[in-house]
Structure formats: C-alpha cells, structure tokens
Structure 1
Amino acid sequence: MADTMRGDRTDRTRSWRRPKQMKLADMVGEGVYVASAATRLTLKNTILVEILAHGEDFAVERFLPEARDVLLSLADEAQADAARVESERKRASRRHTDSYGTHDYRSRDVRNLRRRQRQSEQVAQVLRERAEDPEELRKLVEDAREAAWSEVERNIDSALRIEAARPDLEPDYAKLRDARMQSLRLVDLPRLAAHRRRNAQGAAGELAAAAPAKPGRADLSELE
C-alpha cells in the first residue's frame, strides 16, 4: 500500500514538472527564420508592385539593396528589444516581492530575461551578417520572386476557372449536382418556407394589434 502511494505521488510529481526550455540556439534560429520570412514577404510585395503594376523588368541586383535594408531594419529592432529586456532584467533583480502581472518581473525572472536578451542580441548579429552576404541577399530575392510568381499563377488559374467554367468539363459535375439539388430540397427550401411563415405570422399579429376594438355591450358597473 505504501509503495503504491509513493508511486502515485511520483507520477503526480512527474506530471507537474515544467517542460524543458528551448535551447538558445533553437530560439535564435526561430527568430532568424521569422525575420527571413518577413523579409521575403516585403520583397515579394515590392516585386509584385514594380514588375506587374509598373511593367518593369526583373533583375535580382535591383532588389538586393532593399533586401539588405530590410534585414538591417529587423536587426535594429532585435537590438532594441535586447536593450529593453536588459533594462527590465536590471529592475527585476532588485525586486523580491510577488508579481502583480505578466510583465511585472521579479528577481526569479532574471534568468529568463537574460536568455531573452541574449536571444535578441544573437538574432541581431546574424541578421547583420546576412545583410552583408551577397549570396544570402540573392537567395532572399530569388525566393521572393518565386513566391510572387506563385501568387500570380494562383490568381490567374482561379480567374480562368471561374470565367471558363463549363458543366461538361467538370468530371464530377453530375454527382455534385445531385448533391446540391438534394441539399436544396431538404434544407434550403424548407428553411425558406419557415422564414416566410414567420414573416406572415408576424405581419398578421401586427395587424390584429393595430385594429380598433369591436363595439360591445357597456359594463354598467363602471357607471356606479
């Protein structure tokens, strides 16, 4: 019995353990990945505007300066975040009372804040290194171009499917038509009929309430 109780306590203790934190290298890699995705999105939008809207020719070298500027801007944001976290960490190290909120840091939060500071600093460093790497910049522009062309292709394909839609070209048209007609009979039409009945009943009720009362026999008790 005692062994069973100890086993239960052990299982509960294990279930209460907090999950392990991510390694710093993984955190930095995640931050760099998000920054790279944001850079590609910015470049993709620029390519769509410059090439498609304005009719300009595409050249990788033309977009390299913008790719560099975006990376450096994101590096500056990461560095500013590191400075902010460092300030919060210093204040938290002097506070030993209970916290009053999520961002009300105390001395026990110093370790996590230091990790966040180091993460932001290393992300900023990696982004600055990539901003000075021509091959990395070229890869970002090429990936952004592929994303832009994919978006254009999807839009064109969707437009053509809508404009050129024909029942005889749809292999499952008959099957889908039967399903749509059954849904119309069993769901849409009964719902429409119920809606019309409710409207008719509501209108009848309003007319009855507005109609004048019919004259009847007077209540003589009211004259007393």
Structure 2
Amino acid sequence: MRIWRRRKRERFAPFDRTALPEVEPLTFEESFAEGLLVSEAAGRMALKNRIIVMALRGDEPFDAVRASAAAREVLHELVQELDEVAEWSAAERESAAQREGRSAHQHDYHRADAWNLRLRQRVNAAVAERLTELRNDDAYLAEFAERARQEAWEEIAGVIEARLAQEWPEIEIDEAYERERDDRMRGLTLDLKRDLADARQRRETFDELDDSFGTWSG
C-alpha cells in the first residue's frame, strides 16, 4: 500500500525592491531619437487619414505636390503641439519644485520629478526644432508624403479585401443596374468610410493600451 506524504511547502523570501538592478535613465540623445520617430509616425498617420478622405471623395487624382504641401502643414501642426508640451513641462517643473513627498499618480509631479520634466522639455523643444528644419526639405517632404500614401493604400486595400471576402449574391446586370450604379458607389463609399473609421478607432484603442512613449511625450 502506497503512503502519500504531503510535500513540504517551500518558503519564499519577501520581495526586496532594493535588490532590483538600478534602471539607467534615458539619455537626451535616446529620448530625442525616440521622440522624433514617434512624432514622424503621428504625422504620417494624420497625412494618411487626409489622403484616405480625398480618395474616398474621388474628386481629384492623387497629386504629389499637394501631398507634400499637406505634409508640410501636418509637420507645422506637430511643431505647435511639441512647443506647447515643452512650455507645459517647463511650467510644471517650476510648480513641482515646490512639492515634496511621493506622487499619488503619474501626473502628480513633485521635486523628485524635476529632472524628468526638464528632459521632457528639452526633448520636445529639440524635436520641434528638427521638424521645423525638415519642413523646408523638399526631398524629405516628398518621401514623407509617399510613405503616407502607401500606408493609406494598404489600409484602404485591407478594407476592400475584407469586404470582397464576404459572400456576394449573383447580380443581373441590366439597364436598371447601370442606372443605379452611381447610387451604389456612393453607398459603398459610405460603407468604406465607416469601416475605415472603425479600423482606426480599434488601432487608436490598442495604441492607448500600449503607449511605449507616453512617459516622455506629456
């Protein structure tokens, strides 16, 4: 007859936070590189959305010159936002310097956060300055606009492929079908706009849940 013995429960040492390796803070150069990448990605997304709206309206063919001009405008809007965040960081740093103790939440800054706020101010100001320079670079704007156009087409193509994958009924093409073609195309355009809006909303929701750079952008 087999006798079962209760296994002795192992005791684990309590968690010791001081035993964790010290995390090296990001340098200005690392933060600047990440900030520039994030800003450029945000700019391309904004331009991509504009290109999609223009494509769905179907008013005019794609124009690379107009797209470059729109890219310059998008970068200008980003520069304004970055300047505002830099100013906010400077003001918040002065206010945080008067507060002692520990933060109650991620936006409750105290004296210990002054270094990080100063870094955030410098990074946003530097990224804004760099984007201002790039706004005057025609080659950069052309490449920026082309990448946004490609991303716009990928998003539109994905929605169209998903809709074409559905089961479609057999359609008899007659005079009535031809007469109602414009109405059907308008209806399809509205459906695509809704599908694209849903896709963008889902992507934005996922981005909010996994914001890799939210700690510095303010």
- Secondary structure of the 2:95 match is helix
- Secondary structure of the 1:162 match is coil
Match of 1:111 in 2: 115
> Which among 31, 50, 56 is matched to residue 54 of structure 2?
50
> Which among 32, 48, 70 is matched to residue 28 of structure 1?
32
- Partner letter of residue 112 of structure 1? N
Which of 1 and 2 has higher RCO (CA within 8 Å, sep 6+)? 2
**1:101 counterpart = 2:104:** yes
- 1:31-58 superposed Cα distances (whole Å, 9 cap, x missing partner): 2222212221222222222233224111
Give the Cα separation in 1 of the matches to 2:68 and 2:140.
10
User: Relative to structure 1, is the Cα distance of residues 125 and 162 closer, same or farther in structure 2, using a 3 angstrom cutoff?
Assistant: same
Match of 2:79 in 1: 75
How far is 1:13 from its partner? Answer: 7.4
Residues matched between the structures, number: 155
How far is 1:14 from its partner? Answer: 6.5
Match of 2:136 in 1: 132
Structure 1 vs Structure 2 CA RMSD: 2.5
Match of 1:215 in 2: none
Give the Cα separation in 1 of the matches to 2:148 and 2:108.
40
- Partner letter of residue 159 of structure 2? N
> Which among 164, 167, 185 is matched to residue 163 of structure 1?
167
User: Relative to structure 1, is the Cα distance of residues 62 and 115 closer, same or farther in structure 2, using a 3 angstrom cutoff?
Assistant: same
**1:89 counterpart = 2:106:** no
> Which among 57, 61, 64 is matched to residue 60 of structure 1?
64
| The 10-residue stretch of structure 1 (46-55 or 140-149) with the greater mean CA deviation from structure 2 | 46-55
Residue segments in structure 2 that go unaligned for 5+ positions in a row: 1-12, 170-218
User: Relative to structure 1, is the Cα distance of residues 104 and 148 closer, same or farther in structure 2, using a 3 angstrom cutoff?
Assistant: closer
User: Relative to structure 1, is the Cα distance of residues 131 and 163 closer, same or farther in structure 2, using a 3 angstrom cutoff?
Assistant: same
Give the Cα separation in 2 of the matches to 1:154 and 1:106.
47
- Report the TM-score, using the length of structure 1 for normalisation: 0.61
Match of 1:192 in 2: none
* Structure with greater Cα Rg: 1
- 1:129-167 superposed Cα distances (whole Å, 9 cap, x missing partner): 1112111111111011111221222223223322369xx
> Which among 148, 152, 174 is matched to residue 148 of structure 1?
152
**1:15 counterpart = 2:19:** yes
Identity, % of aligned positions: 33
